[in-house]
């Protein structure tokens, strides 16, 4: 019976991950916020460990499937920012299948490579963290300054980094908002993209079958360097896998811009696994999914970690199979879907959930964050600088 419950929990997680993964504008943090908001009632039905399995399975499935709407419709989130342009370019060229295949390969490699070195990570993260925890704000400042100095428009980058940071600080300090990330991230990376997609009247050109253009040697190199980069960045508070992707791109000396997609997805899926290990080894939540787990159970032991990693690998196999089957069907039907109506429905859903969970204060944050996201797009600013909403509050809180 226990095995049956575990399998059922995995399947529920996969279904939820499919919903968040292929639905534009719906992020896993939205579901995580709902779980936290209604945890009192959910815990009356399910055991905490079963909920942990569901969240783990959902996170892995979302990580794999998220490449589909990101490629076809350009829906950004804080994790996939660095691969959007190459994926869009391939879609315009009729090669969206190649971009999506790159994404699947990257996600699988990130999970597998990181899982293989978990024994090393378990001992490495506490050692590194204990030695640098007093210097974390300065490390974050150096990383952010480096990325800003490498940007095309340094002044705009600074302005939007600080502006989103101020919105983040305000959001985290409004006592009546229990889930500040919900309106904040839903606005900056969700609603703004949906509104722009409606206005731009998204149309996808006819897509064709293409061959993967990357060698096994390159895949091994990408996996190694990106996983190491992920280990160095993803246990730091505020940094998303977009930062890992940028660092890894520099280390790998990428020549083919399309390979950014592989690296970005390795970074994203590697971050998911590392966040679980960080929770076990230093008891810190580094993702929305893990923050939800931490809310339900304050810490995890080695047995639970092994269960989580096992669930991740099982989910990887099942969700990758589902993703491959779904890709062709979604591409064929992409232009038959009324994107405008779908986007409006999703926008209404997000607004309703924000109102229910975070009240009018959250709605104000949502509107403000959405406006900033739209303005950044209009000014052709790289959206990684909008992650100031996460990084700047961490820097200030660490310094004070």
The answer to the question of residue 144 being in a domain is yes
Count CB-CB contacts under 10 A for residue 61: 29
Which token pair is 396?
A: 């200030």
Residue 142 DSSP SS3 = helix
Which token pair is 215?
A: 């060698």
The answer to the question of residue 241 being in a domain is yes
- Residues 114, 272: Cα–Cα separation, whole Å: 9
The answer to the question of residue 143 being in a domain is yes
The answer to the question of residue 253 being in a domain is yes
What are 251-259's contacts with CB under 8 Å, separation 24+?
251/225, 252/221, 252/222, 252/225, 252/226, 256/213, 256/214, 257/85, 257/86, 257/89, 258/86, 258/89, 258/90, 258/98, 258/99, 258/102, 258/213, 259/102, 259/214, 259/218, 259/222
Residue 328 DSSP SS3 = helix
Which token pair is 22?
A: 């292929």
The answer to the question of residue 400 being in a domain is no
Residue 206 DSSP SS3 = coil
Q: Among candidates 71, 95, 96, which has minimal Cα distance to 85?
A: 71
pTM over 0.75? The answer is: yes
Number of folded domains in the chain? Answer: 1
Q: Among candidates 283, 275, 226, 13, which has minimal Cα distance to 106?
A: 226
The reported pLDDT for the residue numbered 253 is 65
Domain range for 298 is 2-152+214-338
The answer to the question of residue 277 being in a domain is yes
The answer to the question of residue 251 being in a domain is yes
List, for the chain, all residue ranges whose pLDDT scores fall below the cut of 70: 1, 25, 73-85, 199-204, 232-235, 238, 240-242, 244-257, 335
Which token pair is 133?
A: 């925890």
The answer to the question of residue 127 being in a domain is yes
């Amino acid at each position: 019976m226990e095995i049956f419950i575990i399998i059922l929990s995995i399947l529920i997680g996969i279904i939820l991950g499919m919903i968040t993964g292929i639905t534009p504008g719906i992020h896993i943090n939205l579901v995580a916020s709902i779980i936290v908001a209604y945890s009192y009632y959910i815990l009356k039905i399910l055991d905490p460990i079963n909920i942990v399995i569901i969240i783990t399975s959902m996170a892995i499935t979302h990580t794999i499937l998220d490449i589909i709407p990101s490629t076809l419709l350009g829906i950004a989130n804080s994790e996939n920012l660095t691969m959007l342009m190459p994926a869009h370019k391939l879609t315009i060229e009729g090669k969206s299948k190649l971009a999506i295949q790159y994404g699947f390969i990257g996600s699988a490699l990130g999970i597998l490579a990181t899982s293989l070195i978990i024994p090393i990570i378990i001992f490495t993260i506490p050692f590194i963290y204990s030695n640098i925890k007093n210097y974390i704000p300065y490390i974050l400042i150096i990383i952010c300054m480096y990325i800003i100095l490498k940007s095309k428009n340094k002044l705009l980058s600074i302005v939007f980094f600080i502006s989103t940071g101020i919105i983040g600080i305000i959001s985290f300090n409004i006592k009546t908002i229990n889930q500040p990330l919900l309106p904040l991230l839903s606005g900056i990376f969700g609603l703004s993209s949906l509104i722009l997609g409606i206005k731009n009247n998204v149309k996808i050109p006819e897509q064709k079958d293409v061959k993967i253009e990357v060698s096994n040697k390159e895949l091994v190199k990408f996996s190694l360097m990106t996983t190491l980069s992920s280990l160095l960045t993803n246990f730091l508070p505020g940094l998303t896998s977009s930062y890992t992707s940028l660092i890894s791109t520099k280390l790998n000396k990428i020549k083919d811009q399309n390979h950014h997609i592989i690296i970005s997805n390795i970074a994203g899926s590697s971050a998911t696994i590392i966040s679980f290990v960080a929770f076990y080894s230093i008891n810190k939540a580094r993702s929305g999914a893990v923050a939800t787990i931490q809310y339900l159970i304050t810490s995890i032991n080695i047995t639970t970690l092994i269960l989580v990693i096992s669930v991740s690998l099982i989910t990887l196999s099942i969700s990758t199979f589902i993703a491959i089957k779904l890709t062709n069907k979604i591409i064929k039907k992409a232009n038959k879907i009324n994107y405008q109506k779908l986007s409006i429905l999703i926008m209404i859903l997000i607004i309703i959930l924000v109102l229910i969970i975070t009240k009018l204060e959250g709605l104000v944050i949502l509107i403000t964050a959405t406006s900033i996201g739209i303005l950044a797009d209009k000014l052709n600013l790289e959206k990684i600088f909008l992650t100031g909403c996460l990084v700047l509050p961490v820097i200030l809180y660490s310094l004070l």
